Amino acid sequence: MKEDTKHKLRKKGWLEHEIDHAERIIEAGIQKTKYKHGLDLFVYWTALVITLLGNIAVSFVLIPFLFMVQGVVLFVIIFVIAALFGFLFNILIKDIDNMETHHHLIAGMFIPIIAVVNVFIIVRFSNVLASQVAFLEIPATDPLPVAIVYVVGFVLPYFVSKIIKK
């Protein structure tokens, strides 16, 4: 506690032990805030890493669908899977206190960009894999629309939660 604050409290009739007690309470609150902020940052970065790994896992889950389903049905399946995963990501991120603007920007930009690149690579990989299995005659899937549908589904829960919050 600053000396001028202590001086003002003394002028108001506070006793020395009361000022010391108030100072200990304030210091304990500051320490808890520092601890909580550090914990929030740890949870934030852990959530980002888990989301990144989850996006990779979800991309591999898409491979059988890319082989078995085509057209609108494929896009609906991809959208639903992405929206469910985006909903989980939104739950992880929205409850973290003390997030600053740059944390929101990192989460809002980094994860969708990584998701697009990841899904794009997986679709290309599945096309190569499908071409290796000639007897199945699986048509190639254009990776760009699949990646776009995935990202739209992934970020939709975040935007819906922001609209509902207002």
- The model's pLDDT over 126-162, given as tens digits with 9 standing for 90+, comes to 888 877 776 667 777 888 898 899 989 988 988 888 7
pLDDT by residue (tens digit) across 29-79?
A: 666 665 566 777 787 778 778 888 888 888 888 888 888 888 899 999 999
What is the reported pLDDT for 10? 84
Cα-atom radius of gyration of the chain, to the nearest Å? Answer: 25
What is the Cα–Cα distance from 157 to 51, expressed in whole angstroms? 14
Look up residue 16 and give its amino acid: E
Residue 136 DSSP class: G
Give the pTM: 0.67
What is the Cα–Cα distance from 118 to 11, expressed in whole angstroms? 65
Q: Which of 69, 81, 164 is nearest to 119 (CA)?
A: 81
Task: Give the residue carrying structure tokens 């995963």.
Answer: 85
